[in-house]
Amino acid sequence: MPVPTVFITGARVGLGEEFARQYRSEGWQVIAPTRGELDVTDHKSIGSFVDGLDSVPIDLLINNAGIRSTHPSACTLGSFTLEGWLPTFAVNTVGPALMTQALLPNLMRGTARKIVTLSSRLGSIEAGNGSNSGGGGSSYYAYRASKSAVHQVNKCLSIDLEPDGFVCALLNPGWVRTGMGGEKARLTPRESVARMRMVIEQLTPAQNGKFVDCDGTVLPW
């Protein structure tokens, strides 16, 4: 039986690193390029890396790479700048779209045909509690908006790729003790990834286009 292959972006630290560790321990072939090898915001960088993969089948793509600026130019009303917002959107929203597009031929050769993009409850307009609920005096405007926008990207992908048997889902990792989540977070990376891996394994066409919590609950937009 062929060994399944997972491609993980942003795997140098945090959840991405833990995804790579756990999948390797389960015998998967893991493709987890570092930032120096792949820039998800650079079309040429993506093309060069994907060309090197040739025709390797990929069963699962995890769009994990993400950033959250705490600079006032991206977070604080009265201090916004275009330059402050654009990097967050480039990584969190455009990055998953570019990566999915570039890897689609490889994903077509895989058998699982699953595309997972990590999001956040802060990206939910209904469940995110509004822009002023961010921590540390920051309301995370750009981060929230970028995650809401990637929900739309995923929905569009789910419709376009459904005829080819793909399941495209968004996952909320929960509040995790990473550089982004902080030391007071409830979950360790190991706990969060273990839960998300279970959700990923159990994804069915019924979850195509959905936003799913790490406990398997479908979250509101």
Q: What is the CATH number of the domain that holds 130?
A: 3.40.50.720
What pLDDT is recorded for position 129? 66
What pLDDT is recorded for position 178? 79
**Residue 218 domain flag:** no
What pLDDT is recorded for position 177? 74
Kindly report the pTM of this predicted structure: 0.93
**Burial class of residue 35, CB neighbours in 10 A (0-12, 13-18, 19+):** middle
What pLDDT is recorded for position 135? 47
Tally of domains within the chain: 1
3-state secondary structure 172-215: ECCCECCCCCCCCCCECHHHHHHHHHHHHHCCCHHHCCCEEECC
**Residue 219 domain flag:** no
**Residue 23 domain flag:** yes
The residue segments making up the domain with residue 146 are: 5-213
pLDDT one digit per residue (tens) for the chain, 221 residues: 689 999 999 998 889 999 999 999 999 999 999 888 999 999 999 999 999 998 899 999 999 999 999 999 999 999 999 999 999 999 999 999 999 999 999 999 999 999 999 999 899 988 766 555 444 445 789 999 999 999 999 999 999 999 999 999 999 998 787 777 777 777 898 999 999 999 999 999 999 999 999 999 999 98
